[in-house]
């Protein structure tokens, strides 16, 4: 059977996200070409929507890290790994890696299950004894109790007041994200919540983004995807969505793909830019 274009796009995106998610210690030994003089010159962040860009009707938000702060997980992960809080990035990248592996292999376990398995893998790699029950306790409950970043509630309220339809799209399960939103005090700010468990394909596969378009009956250019992950925005771009990158601490753009339409420090800056654009 021929390899379909959708699967080809998905395969390319999954390779990119795996490479982007690797922690520094995993990639430090890979030789790199010397950057050109042109590449060394920093490109300015897009300050506003381009003049030929449509003002979106719908804003779709990623949840983990974009809206919710993962910092509290350092404590629980560190405790499970004998005080090694520095292993949180390795655990998170391993979880992302195997979510992609499952999608490509036609398998599906929810994010909590993959997170539990990933923590057990990190523990084994580091010579730390950790059973499944302890690993699950270190991941699932804390993941569902994450606080919102300080800018999130105000930023979302401002965007809703400007008339944008606010929805979320997450790799967490439907049950998991409902609990996350409730515990973070954000439930009332979203018109709809979408989860990849409705398709059993993880972002950045094109299918979850297309699911949102189909359900809302909107065109790709009418939707803005907001995330703190370059791989998530790459997936959104693959189906034609506009994109906005939120520069959360430690996050960076992948330079080999199309830059997002917007780069903002937080949701209040996003609200400022969109408000100004609507007034023009």
Active site includes 197? no
Contact 169, 60 (CB under 8 A): yes
Query: Cα–Cα distance between 208 and 30 in angstroms, integer?
Result: 32
Q: Please list, in sequence order, all residues whose beta carbon lies within 8 angstroms of the beta carbon of residue 179, skipping any fewer than 6 positions away.
A: 144
Query: Cα–Cα distance between 130 and 123 in angstroms, integer?
Result: 6
User: Tokens 């094109």 correspond to what residue?
Assistant: 206
The length of the chain in residues reads: 280
Query: Cα–Cα distance between 71 and 36 in angstroms, integer?
Result: 36
Distance of CA 128 to the CA centre of its chain: 29
Structure tokens at 153: 């509630």
Query: Cα–Cα distance between 205 and 210 in angstroms, integer?
Result: 9
Contact 81, 130 (CB under 8 A): yes
Structure tokens at 172: 């967490």
- The catalytically annotated residue of 62, 110, 197, 261 is 62
Query: Cα–Cα distance between 277 and 224 in angstroms, integer?
Result: 14
CA distances from 279 to 239, 242, 272, 275 (A): 28, 19, 11, 6
Query: Cα–Cα distance between 136 and 80 in angstroms, integer?
Result: 10
170 forms beta bridges with: 195
Active-site positions? Answer: 62
């Amino acid at each position: 059977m021929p390899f379909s274009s959708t699967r080809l796009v998905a395969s390319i995106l999954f390779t990119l996200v795996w490479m982007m998610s690797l922690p520094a210690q995993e990639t430090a030994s890979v030789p790199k070409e010397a950057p050109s003089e042109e590449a060394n010159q920093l490109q300015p962040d897009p300050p506003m929507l381009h003049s030929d860009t449509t003002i979106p009707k719908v804003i779709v938000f990623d949840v983990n890290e974009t809206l919710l702060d993962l910092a509290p997980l350092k404590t629980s992960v560190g405790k499970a790994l004998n005080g090694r809080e520095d292993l949180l990035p390795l655990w998170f990248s391993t979880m992302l890696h195997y979510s992609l592996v499952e999608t490509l292999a036609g398998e599906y376990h929810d994010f909590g299950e993959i997170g539990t398995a990933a923590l057990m893998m990190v523990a084994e790699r580091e010579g730390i004894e950790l059973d499944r029950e302890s690993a699950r306790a270190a991941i699932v409950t804390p993941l569902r109790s994450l606080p919102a970043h300080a800018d999130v509630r105000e930023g979302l309220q401002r965007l809703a007041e400007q008339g944008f339809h606010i929805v979320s799209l997450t790799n967490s399960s439907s049950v998991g994200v409902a609990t996350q939103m409730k515990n973070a005090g954000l439930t009332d700010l979203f018109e709809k919540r979408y989860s990849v468990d409705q398709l059993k394909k993880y972002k950045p596969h094109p299918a979850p983004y297309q699911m949102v378009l189909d359900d809302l009956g909107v065109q790709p250019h009418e939707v803005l995807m907001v995330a703190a992950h370059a791989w998530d925005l790459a997936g959104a771009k693959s189906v034609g969505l506009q994109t906005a990158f939120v520069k959360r601490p430690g996050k960076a753009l992948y330079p080999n793909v199309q830059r997002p339409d917007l780069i903002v420090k937080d949701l209040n800056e996003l609200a400022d830019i969109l408000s100004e654009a609507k007034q023009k």
